[in-house]
Amino acid sequence: MRLDTSGREWGHVMDWGGHPEEDLGALTDLLDVTEEQDWQERALCAQTDPEAFFPEKGGSTREAKRICQGCEVKDDCLEYALAHDERFGIWGGLSERERRKLKKRAV
């Protein structure tokens, strides 16, 4: 059994019932989740030690940033972190402080 974002069961589009615009919204949400999972599965950090990406305060970010430089989904990762206001860890090759500065410049 699958549930859409409003908690209704669905299996086939014809089974949804309701309003088409609601169904389209739920389908769009599901596609967004699928896209997120796609880039996350291809991320190099998913294949390495996660502790490098969440160093202790004052710890080195060098190893995580080095891994990010060679990652094909670095831009998707950074976009996700900015959109979801991720406050901890290295995302898209940037630290929390670097992401805050980037957001301030964008405003």
Binding residues: 45, 68, 71, 77
Rounded CA-CA distance 16/95 in Å is 42
CA torsion, ordered 14, 20, 25, 31, to nearest 10 deg = 30
DSSP H/E element including 97: helix 96-106
Three-state DSSP at 95 gives coil
Rounded CA-CA distance 100/83 in Å is 12
Q: Which residues are annotated as a binding site for [4Fe-4S] cluster?
A: 45, 68, 71, 77
DSSP H/E element including 9: strand 9-10
Q: What is the DSSP letter of 86?
A: -
